[in-house]
Amino acid sequence: MSQLKSEDNLKYWVALNLVLAEKLNIVKKIIDHFSVIGDVFKARESDLKAAGVDSGITCILTSSGIVDKACREIDRVYSKGYRILSIEDKEYPDYLREIFDPPIVLYCAGKVETLKGPCVTIVGSRRPTPYGRAVAERIAQDLASREIIVVSGMARGIDSIAHWGALKEGKTVAVLGSGLDVIYPRENKKLFEKIIERGAMITEYPLKTLPLGFHFPLRNRILSGLSIALLVVEAAKKSGSLISARLALEQNREVMAVPGNITSEYSRGTNWLIKTGAKPVESWEDIAEELPTPLKEKVLSKKGQSEERVHQMSSQEKKVIDILKLDSLTHIDELVTKSDFSVSELLSILLNLELRGLISQSPGKYFQRKL
């Protein structure tokens, strides 16, 4: 399809997307058949049928109202301060444009330029263990502090944790399976607002689109397509994250996984990925080693803020950190016994470590290291 002025063609791309956002195979046929997007809406029924479009869709595309509907949709999107990128827009992410079935339209909230940055996708279980939570947050934070954009799907669990971890020291992109004005899950409203401040929120679905179940497998191709690599942190044997991993392989992306406990159902998917060829990942360095050479050298040479905070720890703080575990919770009574600090001394040390983002506290005075 020819690269004409994207702003002139936007109404046509939006119109096509309104009709076919959920029918990617037909979109592909139309784009391959017509050299100019505007010609789709001036075509005769016979031309559309020759492109492989069925009569029902042909009737909609040749109706007089679909382009007007697209113009109204564009006005609504812009009135909310959002953007729309078509596939021919210069700001459309390059990696995503390369995949077999890229979204022809992206609705965007936040900083659109974030989509052009080097991206790594992190996905995983919606019900992670303490180990999975800690690893996802740490790796996302470490990557973001080195100017890698962390991409995920804003779902409960690993997705949300990855976004929050990235936001501590950098930027993140969320890919939705709904319209930009339909926050799902609802408890992520604050996360939605933070991502717009520091990164970008994108979807191929128009405003008011509900998060229907079949949208998410379609959404997954965007999650993997945006990025250089995809990392899975905890996944059951039958997990949506494994769909993302398969799509990433089809898109010629690097697929990686965090090894897990062999007795945990949430590690069966990730351990299976590793057995079948995915790279095992223990830290951000493992991911950086697979990046393109100029970017790899830049990332590996950069120290993150969290790394600096570790070097600045006192000997007492290091003693407590060494006792705490990354993959499980430790009660304060155990810390008192193993550290030989008084309760008051220990609470002061723990507070300092928590304020600096090096540990987290759970109800009941349980603590866990994050680095």
pLDDT digits (tens, 9 = 90+) for 71-119: 999 999 999 999 999 999 999 999 999 999 999 999 999 999 999 999 9
Please tell me the predicted confidence (pLDDT) of residue 312.
74
Which residues are CB-contacts of 235 (< 8 A; sequence separation ≥ 6)? 123, 124, 125, 241, 242, 257, 266, 267, 268, 269, 270, 273
Helix (H, G, I), strand (E, B) or coil at 54: coil
pLDDT, one tens digit per residue, over 277-324 is 999 999 999 999 999 998 999 999 886 655 556 667 888 998 999 899
First to last CA, the chain: 48
Distance of CA 160 to the CA centre of its chain: 9
pLDDT band at 325 (very low <50, low <70, confident <90, very high): confident
Identify the sign of the CA torsion 36, 41, 45, 50: positive
- Prior bond of 118 cis (ω within 30°): no
How confident is the prediction for the chain on average, in pLDDT? 92
- Distance between CA 35 and CA 205 in Å, rounded? 24
> If we measure between CA atoms, which residue out of 228, 239, 307, 311 comes closest to residue 268?
239
- Distance between CA 290 and CA 286 in Å, rounded? 7
Inter-residue contact 107 to 180 (CB < 8 Å): yes
SS3 content of the chain, % helix, strand, coil (to 5): 50, 15, 35
φ and ψ at residue 180, rounded to 5 degrees: -60, -25
Cα→Cα distances 358→56, 279, 302, 303, Å: 58, 27, 19, 16
What per-residue string of b and e applies to 218-252 under the rule 16 or more CB within 10 Å gives b? bbbbbbbbbbbbbbbbbbbeebbbbbbbebbbebe
> If we measure between CA atoms, which residue out of 94, 195, 224, 153 comes closest to residue 85?
94
φ and ψ at residue 210, rounded to 5 degrees: -80, 155
Q: What residues are paired with 280 via a beta bridge? A: 257
pLDDT band at 340 (very low <50, low <70, confident <90, very high): confident
- Distance between CA 338 and CA 274 in Å, rounded? 36
φ and ψ at residue 200, rounded to 5 degrees: -145, 150
Give the total residue count for the chain. 371
pLDDT, one tens digit per residue, over 231-267 is 999 999 888 899 999 999 999 999 999 999 899 999 9
Cα→Cα distances 324→331, 349, 358, 359, 368, Å: 9, 13, 11, 9, 6
> If we measure between CA atoms, which residue out of 188, 249, 241 comes closest to residue 216?
241
- Distance between CA 171 and CA 218 in Å, rounded? 24
